[in-house]
Amino acid sequence: MDLTTLARQLTETIGAEHVSSTPDACAAYALAGQTPDIVAAPGSVAELGQVMALASAHRAIVTPWGGGTRQAHGGLLARAAGRPWLVIRTRRLNRLVEYEPADLTIVVEAGMTPVELDALLRPHGQMLPVDAPLPERTTLGGMIATAADGPRRLGYGLLRDLLLGTSVVETSGRISKAGGAVVKNVSGYDMMKLYLGSYGTLAIVATASFKLIPRPRDAATIWCSFATQAAAFALVEALHTSQLAPAAVEYLAGAEDLPAPRGLAVLAEGLQAAVERHVRDVSHLARQAGAQDVQILRDEDSTRLWARIANLPQTADPAPNELVVRLSCLPSDLNQALQDAASLADRHGLALLVDARALSGVAYLRLHSAATANQAGTALRAWHQELLVRWPYLAVLACAVVTEEGRPLKEHLSPWGPEPAGYTLMQRIKHEFDPQGMLNPGRFVV
Amino acid sequence: MERAQLIEELRRIVGSDGVLYRPEDLVTYDSDGCVMETHAPQVVVLPTSTEQVSAVVKLAAQAGMPIVPRGAGTGLSGGATPRHGGIVVTTSRMSRILEFDARNGRVLVEPGVINFELSQYLKPYGYQFAADPSSQKACTVGGNFANNSGGPHCIKYGVTGSHVLGAEVVLADGSVIWTGEGVPDRPGYDLTGILVGSEGTMALATKIWLKATRLPESTRVVLALFPDISNSVETVSQVIAGGFLPAALEVMDRLAIKAVNEAYKMGLPASAGAALIIEVDGVEDGLDELLAEIVDICNKNAAIEVRPARTVEEQTQVWAARKNAFGAMGRLAPTYYLVDTVVPRTRLPFMMEQVKLISQEFDLPIANVFHAGDGNLHPIILFDRSDPDQYQRAHEAASRVMKLSIEQGGVISGEHGIGMEKQEYMPLLFTADDLGAMAAVHESFDPNDLFNPGKIFPRTQTGKELASQRHAVMAGHTNGENEFDKVTRLIKSQGEKVWI
């Protein structure tokens, strides 16, 4: 392992001020107690390509790093002995490439944050309604790599539906693009779908183009407090059966700073009359379902609540005794899955925070133990194993807990659940893109 | 394997009535809706189950014969044409709707189900299958899956890819996997996403979980007639800028209006240079006010006539003009070449001007029907196929439209696919490295090029060749040149505009 040469070559390529190679300077990028050897921050797509080519020549292990908000997701990095570990930051790639508002599309570099993007879109009455957590820190590239979602996936679809094209830097340093900057395109394979949610294991996203949505004219939130989960889900069922078209329906339990400890937040967006109709009908359905209280939030109050909800799936850094998972299931199973999660949490003495996309079948669960670290590890591990038996689509998003032996608890968890169907095929794809096993080994399914 | 033996084996797998091999039977399968090139297969099979498809695929792999999947054959890019012969697997006997799960908004279908029949089936339950290509009365959902089909409503609802939850697919070794069933955010690579739109070149879907979308409570449609295309495009921009995304925005030009007038007695004014259909939907509340606003915008943009349609009957009539536009072209010429490209939507007026010039230059009438919301244009080049000179000119005119679309920041297909029709244009849109990445995926699925060979990738740069070139790059064997230098040189040659 010739770290000195790699560091020197990187310095020559992108400038000394953008390369860190001392343990102190790299400490901020440590993952699960391990510190990378070098952190490099290329300033252009071309430099990103060059950095990757150098990394490849040195058979480095590479961790692409956007805002660093989702580096805790998944498995532990498998650091092979004798191979340098390089973190490549994309944050300096934050330029606007192309934006003609009337086209309803935009092309940007991947290091841009959603807050920066929104500042460009807002004056033109447009938006990218993805609502990922920590929008001032997370990057669009990171959101693509982790397939980030937000409450409004119900109304506007997923990032998967809004991502029109990408250019990526591959392990060889070569740049390849896919898709385009137009909203409809069947020219060649939809490569973006493969990069989306691949956790940086195939290539590094350099630029991305998105389909934009006109900002709604009006919005209101109907907050419905419930005493029980069952009652809240009675409202979920009623909403499902109705022809109402809310932009978001979130079931929330155990979180602070919300109007009530347990409730359903329904967001209506669109024409003013349509929003008022939702306010009326949802309030009525909520009372029928036994809501204890119904509050209508507008303007700033509404915006603040949804900003809070969007951040619920994670904090900037996981708390010491915390486990964060994403559970997915068929929407019809969500009520039962959440009941199972809650009763297991009770049994193991864990506090549970639930943020569930109630009509989509996705829930972010945060488990916290007030016990000592060792007891917490045992309880969290048991909770995870028992829930995984019943609900196999359980992804570990964060867990900083350390076991009695001083090892990360993650080593004992199956971070992505059982082997997915088509696993062999996924391995073949991974091998075609990354034959040297450079990109984020151990972190993802493949 | 001898042909007779192959046929015998296939008959054993799918039954004797499920195998076609007489020359007169094979003619039907020698092309799809794109008749620029025809190639008859050696044999056609009509399986009824996944097990049969799997057995046929295993047999084909053993015999070294291509498998060419085929739905209704309505494709327009030669995707179902058996270029290298082989076994055409047609899904017409796999056409059952297996399960509708309203609670989870999903429906399980076999690939041979007709798109329109699926929506008809779902309608009484208050649901639809939202991808609605113009060929929906004939095309199959398996074909929609393969081509990632669009339709007039995808500005709001998205293309087929947004409505496929997962599929049971037969892989090149005959094994069968499920890529998803409707559980969201499954860990692992998005195999469903990469298979949709892969034009049958990587696997064959035998069951598909599709999203069933709730029908909107209410709909309003406006038909507005303008003196010129530019008025209609400006109207569309203003409607979108008003903060509301319509469900459909369709434009027909003067010649297309003439065709539907003649064919269907639509009675549209002859002075109209453009007809714009705007559809909005959602809950009933507010739609009438919105309709009034839209009518107002149309009038401000010099509309000759505006016909708001509130009732289902009125709306059906308005849509009939658009949906039958292609059929009406038969009134104007014996044959037409339907081009399908996309540009950023603000470039549409420029493209329409250019199409007019192309029409003059090649001396062929060109009608236009396009999706104004998403920049997808469809110049319809009218010609007589029996005249070799006209045939040649029609193809050159189409080629010009494709090149212009790329120059304008667009792409060469919005919804019809690449197939054989556009494979030679792929290098104009993509670099060898871009195509190489696609080839790498193809290599992972179908290393022996069993499924629908000779499509998508250019003939001069097959997927196989691109994949091996890429292997050399990955291994650092690129003619002795240091890869860092090579990357630097490549990036410099691409200039500032790396993307797009």
B343-379 tens-digit pLDDT: 999 999 999 999 999 999 999 999 999 999 999 999 9
Most confident segment among B25-39, B252-266, B424-438:
B424-438
Q: For B421-433, write each residue's pLDDT tens digit.
A: 999 999 999 999 9
Q: A279: closest CA among A263, A289, A267?
A: A267
Is residue B473's pLDDT more than 90? no
Mean pLDDT of B182-187: 95
Residue for token pair 């009539």: B317
Residue B363 zone, left/alpha/beta (φ > 0; ψ -120 to 50; rest): left
Q: Give me the phi and psi of A53, to 5 degrees please.
A: -65, -40
Q: For A345-395, write each residue's pLDDT tens digit.
A: 999 999 999 999 999 999 999 999 998 888 999 999 999 999 999 999 999
Question: How confident is residue A152, by pLDDT bands cut at 50, 70 and 90?
Answer: very high
| Terminal-residue alpha carbon distance, chain B | 47
The whole-number pLDDT of residue A318 equals 75
Would you give the DSSP letter of residue B266? -
Question: How confident is residue B497, by pLDDT bands cut at 50, 70 and 90?
Answer: low
Q: Which of B342, B443, B491 shows the shortest C-beta gap to A46?
A: B491
Which of B215, B239, B491 best probes binding to A when mutated, by most A CB atoms within 10 angstroms? Answer: B491
Q: Which of A98, A188, A423 shows the shortest C-beta gap to B438?
A: A188
Length of chain B as a residue count: 500
Tokens of B284: 């009933």
CA distance B197 to B148: 4
CA distance A352 to A306: 20
Whether B456 has its CB under 8 Å from any CB of chain A: the answer is yes
CA distance B359 to B394: 9
Q: For B190-206, write each residue's pLDDT tens digit.
A: 999 999 999 999 999 99
Mean pLDDT of A250-255: 97
The whole-number pLDDT of residue A274 equals 98
Tokens of A153: 């996936």
The reply to whether residue A196 touches residue B190, judged by beta carbons under 8 angstroms, is: yes
Is residue B483's pLDDT more than 80? no
The reply to whether residue A97 touches residue B499, judged by beta carbons under 8 angstroms, is: yes
> Residue A387: enclosing H or E segment and its boundaries?
helix A373-390
Q: For A73-107, write each residue's pLDDT tens digit.
A: 999 999 988 999 999 999 999 999 999 999 999 99
CA distance A414 to A400: 15
How many other CB atoms are found less than 10 A from the CB of residue B346? 17
Mean pLDDT of A309-329: 89
- Helix, strand, coil proportions of chain B in percent (round to 5)? 40, 20, 40
Q: B484: closest CA among A6, A41, A47, A54?
A: A54
Q: Please say whether the beta carbons of B169 and B175 come within 8 A.
A: no
Q: Please say whether the beta carbons of A109 and A207 come within 8 A.
A: yes
Which of A5, A12, A189 best probes binding to B when mutated, by most B CB atoms within 10 angstroms? Answer: A189
Mean pLDDT of B265-273: 89
The reply to whether residue A104 touches residue B488, judged by beta carbons under 8 angstroms, is: no
CA distance B156 to A290: 35
Q: What is the dihedral of CA A170, A172, A173, A177, to 10 degrees?
A: -40
Q: For A187-221, write each residue's pLDDT tens digit.
A: 999 999 999 999 999 999 999 999 999 999 999 99
The reply to whether residue A180 touches residue B410, judged by beta carbons under 8 angstroms, is: yes
B189 contacts in chain A (CB < 8 Å): 194, 197-198, 202, 426, 429, 445-446
Q: Give me the phi and psi of A48, to 5 degrees please.
A: -60, -40
The whole-number pLDDT of residue B485 equals 82
Determine whether A106 is exposed, middle or buried from the number of CB atoms within 10 Å of its CB (0-12, 13-18, 19+). Answer: buried
Task: Report the DSSP pairing between strands A248-253 and A204-211.
Answer: unpaired
Determine whether A370 is exposed, middle or buried from the number of CB atoms within 10 Å of its CB (0-12, 13-18, 19+). Answer: exposed
Report the mean per-residue pLDDT for chain B: 93
Would you give the DSSP letter of residue B449? -
The whole-number pLDDT of residue B2 equals 87
Q: For B432-472, write each residue's pLDDT tens digit.
A: 999 999 999 999 999 999 999 999 999 989 999 999 999 99
A216 contacts in chain B (CB < 8 Å): 243
A18 Cβ partners below 8 Å, 6+ apart?
A: A40, A41, A42, A43, A92
With a CB-CB cutoff of 8 Å, which residues 370-389 of chain B face chain A?
371, 374-376
pTM exceeds 0.90, yes or no:
yes
Is residue A226's pLDDT more than 80? yes
Mean pLDDT of B382-410: 95
A-B C-beta contacts closer than 8 Å: 328
With a CB-CB cutoff of 8 Å, which residues 301-360 of chain B face chain A?
342-346
Q: Please say whether the beta carbons of A226 and A292 come within 8 A.
A: yes
CA distance B257 to B260: 5
The whole-number pLDDT of residue B327 equals 84
B432 contacts in chain A (CB < 8 Å): none
Could you give the C-alpha distances from A157 to A4, A87, B165, B356, in angstroms and in order?
A: 47, 32, 13, 38
Question: How confident is residue B490, by pLDDT bands cut at 50, 70 and 90?
Answer: confident
The reply to whether residue A393 touches residue B416, judged by beta carbons under 8 angstroms, is: no
Q: A250: closest CA among A259, A391, A323, A241?
A: A259
Q: Please say whether the beta carbons of B94 and B206 come within 8 A.
A: yes
Half-sphere exposure of B111 (CA within 13 A, CB side): 32
A245 contacts in chain B (CB < 8 Å): 214, 216, 282-283
Is residue A69's pLDDT more than 60? yes
* Three-state DSSP state, B211: strand
Question: How confident is residue B481, by pLDDT bands cut at 50, 70 and 90?
Answer: low
The whole-number pLDDT of residue B477 equals 62
Q: For B205-252, write each residue's pLDDT tens digit.
A: 999 999 999 999 999 999 999 999 999 999 999 998 888 899 999 999
The reply to whether residue A167 touches residue B500, judged by beta carbons under 8 angstroms, is: yes
Is residue A170's pLDDT more than 60? yes
A81 Cβ partners below 8 Å, 6+ apart?
A: none
The whole-number pLDDT of residue B474 equals 85
Mean pLDDT of A284-309: 97
Report the mean per-residue pLDDT for chain A: 96
Q: For A405-417, write each residue's pLDDT tens digit.
A: 888 999 999 999 9
Is residue A340's pLDDT more than 90? yes
Chain B residue with minimum CA distance to A237 = B103
The whole-number pLDDT of residue A2 equals 86
A171 contacts in chain B (CB < 8 Å): 474
